[in-house]
Structure 1
């Protein structure tokens, strides 16, 4: 699995996730295996910056390559991500 370089974190200065990151991660709580969405509730693609920052912070991890769209990151919620949402 090849990942592009992750840019500096977009989390808040206090280390807490942004509203967009929380909304993204929360959707993994409802899915089998913690699968995170590719699209938001309005049908728009989740920002790559949001996804990559969540990976960088350890809240999400790449799950598998999408053969139809190899540039899309299919991710799942990590245990750290679950703990973050519980706090």
Structure 2
């Protein structure tokens, strides 16, 4: 898979917090990533932005009611990152 090759060549690996975040998108329709963790706390924006910067997550749509919320979905590179983290 090309995404794994790209991920290995950059030596970029997700942090434990990023892995937890990305894994939650595996079971969601369209790979939707959560806004809140299992305890109901907002996911840290640094985790989300780090995943976006690495190409593991991408913006899905803007939330007009809460414009500061980052609604994202898992990318193929994100799935590869999760596979490599196992």
Per the normalisation by structure 1, the TM-score is 0.82
Look up the match of 1:16. 13
- Unaligned 5+ residue runs, structure 2? 1-10
Higher relative contact order (CA closer than 8 Å, sequence separation 6+): 2
In the alignment, does 2:31 pair up with 1:34? yes
Alignment of 1:1-87 (within 5 A): 15-87=12-84
Tell me, in whole angstroms, the C-alpha distance in 1 between the residues paired with 2:37 and 2:66. Answer: 17
Moved over 2 A (4+): none
RMSD (Å) for aligned C-alpha atoms: 0.8
Aligned residues: 74
Whole-angstrom CA distance in 2 between matches of 1:56 and 1:83: 15
Unpaired segments ≥5 residues, structure 1: 1-13
The structure where helix makes up a greater share of residues is 2
Query: What TM-score does the superposition give when structure 2 sets the normalisation length?
Result: 0.83
